[in-house]
Structure 1
Amino acid sequence: MSISYLEQNRQFHLRNDSISYVFRVLEGGELNHLYFGPRLRDDGPLSDLQEILFRDTLSVSDDRGVFSLEQIRQEYPVAGSGDLRPCALTAHDERGSHAIRLSYAGYTITDGKPPLDGLPATYAEHPGEAQTLDVLLRDDQIGLEMTLSYTLFEHAPVIARSMRLTSAGTHDITIEGAFSASLDLPDSDWDMITLTSAWSRECNVERARLRTGLQGVSSLGGRSSQHANPFIALARPNTTESHGDAIGMTLVYSGNFDADVAVDTMSDARMRIGINPDLFSWHLAPGESFQTPEALLAYSRNGLNELSQTFHELLRTRLVRGPWRGRRRPITLNTWEAFYWDIDEEGMLEVARQAADLGIELVVVDDGWFGHRDWNDTSLGDWTPNREKFPNGLKPLSSQLHALGLKFGLWFEPEMVNPDSALYMEHPDWVLGDTTRELSISRHQYPLDLTKGEVRDYLVDAMSRVIGENDVDYIKWNMNRSLSEVFSDRWPAERQGELQHRYVLGYYDLISRLAKRFPDLLIEGCSGGGGRTDPGILAYAPQTWISENTDAMERVRIQYGTSFVYPLDSMAAHVTPVPNAQTGRVASLKTRGDVAMFGVFGYELDPRTLTDDERRRIHWQIDVVKRFAPLIGNGRLYRLLSPFRRDQMPFDPDDAAWMVVSDNRQEALVGYYRTRTGVNMPVRHLRLQGLRDDLRYAIEEIGFDMPPHRPRYGDELAQVGLALVDGSNCDLHPQIDAGDNLSRIFHLRVCGD
């Protein structure tokens, strides 16, 4: 790992064992991006990677000939400088002029990785595992300074990037758009991959060829949103899960974002990610600074699985922090689908006793425990126990759960307030919105103004009282609506464009203060399901509720897409009753468990209604989950069959598969899922990945009483695969019957000859 600077050529080369990232300083002080990709051996000048051609474009100046920023691959392009493509920075001075000319002014290289003020970011545990390059640029005429930060990790094919702007002179500067990273590429022969969709069908994988123009995904609701995830990837047209080049970008941020690619008429591509410039501006008075969130850029030359594995490892080990990093999370019973709002102490205790008998480790009291809440139209903001449901408060319940050996969890939605609440009656001015107009409302609630310090102080104190007085071990932190009509009477007109970002900063301040007060508290993020599934939240909450959709076969799709960025041990996944509340589908308890085990496992049902057979199955499931939790939580995920593939034959089954392989490749766990069966179907040969060709593996099928499989070498499992035979293949005496919603789990472990 090294960050080198060639003084004579003014070239920076960031290089570790996997990647190289190269840029140089041009004659006029502009930064010219030269390369990002697999590690280059040559550590000398690479300026010839940029072609200088004569075209009918704007020239920077007469004395620099035909040199034009329109045809230069830039490191951080700035609008108002002669580059007419979509840029990374747009700003104007107090006169309204957008003309900005930032020129190189120096650099520093430090060991380690400094934190970002007020924002989540990846970190280095010791200085030797990363280096950080800060490049300073200035526009002396308007007194604007820019610092571009790059962190190179020793063992990861990742560059962490961010940008900081300072008004260092006497001018007021207004930022209109400030992306965290921009990457110029010399061609557009790529497919774009995004994760999009809607509530309860989050993270659908979309892949399309790049075309001329601007394309991408974004959010504008004050959160990362279910509609699009803050992630974008480019893959060569022939790139698969296991082969080919791919570049990925994700944003360590929980608010409005934009991730896009602009292709010009010369087929150059510009990839950007950062805060969405719509509904955003930031006023810099003299001496003030603005810091962008962190972007993570990863490169893979071995397909999309490797790209995802890079993100998984980095997020799991260098973004998640605290005592729950790397630990198995407790087996959870969330009581929402047992009670909905109709909860009370007696019912909770009965459920808790049965949960403890099943082997559950954490019982969560969901919505309805506070104020006088019996529906979603009241009491948000009043974080005190409902005395009709809990006459003695929550402490007796908490104590009895702990006596049973259970952890105690509570649901909160701290960022919202119902008009029917004591908090709203006392502080209507704490609502985020222009109260001179009729405000949009969702679920009978308004967002609180987290840009106000007194609002955050109230929430920290109110939640701390409940958590501290009742020995709460876990909280589920929900946010069930988007922001709209964003306005605050705390801020002047020229700063109203800052509110969306200030809200996110307030959220980070609130959750980080709570985490510091209760360092052992396990926090699960949620926002109407996956509305806040983003890297930013993982710095405070090591797991998120990725969707309100708990149908097992729908969850296969959601977990598959989410895995493009997020590790399995960040995805909360529960077994829920059937018929499923969202789809009406009936899947076996086995299938529901086989999907949920590839995540943070739990249940969301009423144990009082279980049959004896279901109780035995749940005991068994919990033992299996505990057995394989270290492998699932720390292994490498390989996606094998995509539920989003479009190149199926008409008779192909509607199926999906993945597997997790231990770091030493001695062990693996395979999950196969088929939504729809057929008649006289071809046999599915499931080809495995990640195993060593020269090792022989014993194969055990989990959950079906099957005769032992022949041990097989890794090369056979990769080239031939496992033949998945069942009743749909017209087997006369099937050991596994045909049927919809089938799941099969295989455990592989190295065995002797």
Structure 2
Amino acid sequence: MRVADPPSILHLRDLNSFLLRGDGFAYTLAVTPDGDLRHLHWGGPIEPADVGVLLTDDAREFGSNTWSSPRAHTEELVAHGGRRLDESALKVEFADGVRALDLAVESSAVSGDELTIRLADRHYPFAAELHYRVRGGALERWTTLVNDGETPVVLDRAYSASWGLPSQPRWVATWLAGAYAAETQVTRRPLGPGRLVLESRRGIPGHAAQPWLALDAGDDARAADGAGAVWSVALAWSGSWRLTAELANDGRLHVTAGVNDFDLRHPLPPGRSWTTPVTVGVYAAAGHDELTDRWHAYERAHVVPRSGTVRPVLYNSWEATFFDVRPDSQLELARRAAALGAELFVVDDGWFAGRDDESTGVGDWTPDRTAFPDGLKPLADEVHALGMRFGVWVEPEAVSPDSDLFRAHPDWIYQWPTRPRTLARQTHLLALSRPDVRAHVVEALDALLSSAPIDALKWDLNRPLTEASSGLEDAGSVWVGHVEGLYEVLDRVRELHPDVWIESCASGGGRADLGVLSRAEWVWPSDNTDALERLAIQHGYAYAHSPHTMMAWVTDSPTYLTKREIPLRFRFHSAMTGLLGIGGNLAAWSDADLAAGAEYVAQYKRIRATVQYGAMRRLSGAPDDVTAVAYVAPSGDQVAVFAFAPSVRQLRRTVLLRLRGLDPAAVYADAASGTRHSGALLMHHGLRVPLIGDYASELIVLDRI
């Protein structure tokens, strides 16, 4: 008889406390006799008996009257008011001008793996309901703000949660910084007293940083080799966001995460409520390897649609034809892509009405009548006959001034009546905060997807949000309304066409967050398809996101952005570390390159389940000019090892890579040579990998015997 799993949330009534327990972590909070909600612990597992000890620990400590009171790390929700001088998570303005909160616990409820605690203001009919949900090795938190009064309340700041971390003598932060074509660069810095602020004010998550942050004690060697505790926070929000880590000079640290309060002023009318996006906390006891495993497991089990289904090998025609999209050239590319082994053929920008360049047509999602007089169905049918699925590129949130949609509805964009309209990539942003605009976009996409057997959409956005006014009174903050409108449109399209797969793109990696990943099968991490630069981009992306969401293309040499010459082998190996896509002009490939490409695709298909769903290990110990990564299949029966060196120097011909996560008692055979290695030898001595010349790359597949 199977023993039932222990409950993930315990209400310790005698201590008026709650103990939340997930895979490898515990989180504890308590209600004080005065009705305050006190944070006690976030970290490794503890027992119910330990909570009593935590309650007797005096968290106030010595301080002067210059300290924030109470200290932020002791509060579950840091709300503006009183002598709270630390970074707050909630700030509101009442109708009488009061901008301070005084919250006390009113009620609590436990339902399965979810806890809700209602905090009510001691004077005003206003409440904040804190929600907690255990998801395997992750803890989800969000807040519902409720106006039970008869006058409006304005939300000036409404973050999703405050996260209190334990005291440590040293803290080091890891985050994913970048820019267009250089997204998700791993950035690591010691924290000093003060605030580290990561944010986007663009209306999308943006290229400058991911809404993700990791914090550890700063022992780089231990963290890299799989030791040392790490705490991490991310936000599931596809708009402007803010993450702040505030460190006091006594080592106390707390993190706030939520919708950016930049230009927010979100009204909450009488009798209304608003729920913040989810913020997610992950704790790992064994360094960044384990942290990566936990984030990947969380996305696979609780976020991304169709997780567990291997992603197809994709071909995209953008870099082959750009705006010159014609059925005959697309069909020729499709034939060659099918011969390579591609399983999904996507026609990128340029297929719709009047789209000769980037200045026209966006918003009119009907095929160009000159190029496609019978619509997209004939081409889609031909692609299906070749054994591939068919997809198209769209940018549903934008509209060109030179388009039928804009001429019919010039009021449907964000704009100030007395200010110039800002163009970006020759488009305006449609006001998805408006119900009529959302209804039109759903109708247009439904018509497109119903007009032909279309299996996939590449959903792009190539501009920030500016002129944040929808033209409607009492519509709420546009910064909030646009993202909620986007989610509504995506959800409705997926409901109407449940078999359609969606790729998220925003000028590359400008929108690759947990919010959009709950509605898209994968993400386009960067417009930069240079195979060398992609190694760093993909390395950083995989810190926060599972490889089964990371699309990577093999494109022509030189690449159109960097003009760098890179061999085909290196280009394929780089793309094979994620979701393999091909974006080169296959009509210009030689017979030798086409034959080699087919071999690489076949090799990828033999390992793709391991790459997409296995445990990823960043391999250390190699020279600085070598990038190496291994993937261990969930069953442990296959290991794929990739190694890259842009230029091999100092007469070196091989590198020795120490693998991790293997069975030391098992024997592994090289699939190509048959050479056998014990797991112990591979981990403690290493795997010798040949790397010779410029742009050297190697893939070694090991099968457990």
Question: Do Structure 1 and Structure 2 share a fold, with TM-score over 0.5?
Answer: yes
Alignment partner for residue 254 of structure 1, among 238, 249, 254? Answer: 238
Q: Decide whether the 8 Å contact of 2:72 with 2:87 is kept in 1.
A: no
Separation in 2, partners of 1:212, 1:582: 40
Separation in 2, partners of 1:244, 1:40: 17
Alignment partner for residue 240 of structure 1, among 215, 219, 223? Answer: 223
**Residue in 2 aligned with 1:554?**
533
Alignment of 1:242-391 (within 5 A): 242-321=226-305, 324-391=306-373
Separation in 1, partners of 2:680, 2:587: 48
Alignment partner for residue 12 of structure 2, among 6, 30, 37? Answer: 6
Offset at 1:717?
Answer: 1.2
Q: Decide whether the 8 Å contact of 1:92 with 1:173 is kept in 2.
A: yes
Q: Decide whether the 8 Å contact of 1:164 with 1:292 is kept in 2.
A: yes
Offset at 1:72?
Answer: 5.9
Alignment of 1:78-89 (within 5 A): 78-89=79-90
Offset at 1:682?
Answer: 8.1
CA change 1:17–1:614 in 2 (3 A) is: closer
Separation in 1, partners of 2:174, 2:309: 31
Q: Which runs of 4+ in 1 moved over 4 A?
A: none
**Residue in 1 aligned with 2:174?**
193
Q: Decide whether the 8 Å contact of 1:20 with 1:37 is kept in 2.
A: yes
Offset at 1:377?
Answer: 0.4
Alignment partner for residue 175 of structure 1, among 148, 155, 161? Answer: 155
Alignment partner for residue 654 of structure 1, among 618, 625, 641? Answer: 625
SS of aligned partner of 1:218 = strand
**Residue in 1 aligned with 2:144?**
164
Equivalent position amino acid for 1:430 in 2? W
**Residue in 2 aligned with 1:48?**
56
More moved, 202-211 vs 312-321: 312-321
**Residue in 1 aligned with 2:462?**
480
SS of aligned partner of 1:563 = helix
SS of aligned partner of 2:698 = strand
**Normalising by structure 2, what TM-score?**
0.95
**Residue in 1 aligned with 2:190?**
209
Please give the per-residue CA displacement for 1:64-99, whole angstroms capped at 9, x wherever unaligned: xxxx41376111111113211011111121122122
**Residue in 2 aligned with 1:114?**
none
Separation in 2, partners of 1:605, 1:290: 46
Please give the per-residue CA displacement for 1:458-506, whole angstroms capped at 9, x wherever unaligned: 11111111111111011100001111121121134xx66x111100000
**Residue in 1 aligned with 2:105?**
104
CA change 1:42–1:463 in 2 (3 A) is: closer
CA change 1:59–1:722 in 2 (3 A) is: closer
Separation in 2, partners of 1:568, 1:464: 30
Q: Decide whether the 8 Å contact of 1:545 with 1:572 is kept in 2.
A: yes
Alignment partner for residue 575 of structure 2, among 596, 610, 615? Answer: 596
Equivalent position amino acid for 1:5 in 2? H
Alignment of 1:611-690 (within 5 A): 611-641=590-620, 652-681=623-652, 683-690=654-661
Unaligned runs of 5+ residues in structure 2 are 1-6
Alignment of 1:141-160 (within 5 A): 141-153=123-135, 156-160=136-140
1:224 aligns with 2:205: yes
More moved, 603-612 vs 369-378: 603-612
More moved, 26-35 vs 246-255: 26-35
SS of aligned partner of 2:210 = coil
More moved, 142-151 vs 239-248: 239-248
Q: Decide whether the 8 Å contact of 2:320 with 2:583 is kept in 1.
A: yes
Separation in 2, partners of 1:580, 1:509: 37
Unaligned runs of 5+ residues in structure 1 are 61-67, 112-130, 643-647, 702-706, 727-737
**Residue in 2 aligned with 1:126?**
none
Equivalent position amino acid for 1:10 in 2? N
Offset at 1:545?
Answer: 0.5
Separation in 1, partners of 2:654, 2:597: 31
Q: Decide whether the 8 Å contact of 1:352 with 1:363 is kept in 2.
A: yes
More moved, 688-697 vs 290-299: 688-697
**Residue in 1 aligned with 2:416?**
434
Separation in 2, partners of 1:51, 1:396: 70
Separation in 2, partners of 1:79, 1:653: 47
Please give the per-residue CA displacement for 1:337-359, whole angstroms capped at 9, x wherever unaligned: 11110111121122222222222
Q: Decide whether the 8 Å contact of 2:87 with 2:256 is kept in 1.
A: no
SS of aligned partner of 1:308 = helix
**Residue in 2 aligned with 1:124?**
none
Offset at 1:319?
Answer: 0.9
Equivalent position amino acid for 1:298 in 2? V
Offset at 1:389?
Answer: 1.4
**Residue in 2 aligned with 1:32?**
38
Q: Decide whether the 8 Å contact of 1:103 with 1:137 is kept in 2.
A: yes
**Residue in 2 aligned with 1:517?**
496
Q: Decide whether the 8 Å contact of 1:58 with 1:70 is kept in 2.
A: no
What is the aligned-residue identity percentage?
Answer: 31
How many residue pairs get aligned? The number is: 693
Please give the per-residue CA displacement for 1:189-217, whole angstroms capped at 9, x wherever unaligned: 21011101100000001111111111131
Q: Decide whether the 8 Å contact of 2:320 with 2:585 is kept in 1.
A: yes
Separation in 2, partners of 1:575, 1:415: 28
Offset at 1:17?
Answer: 4.7
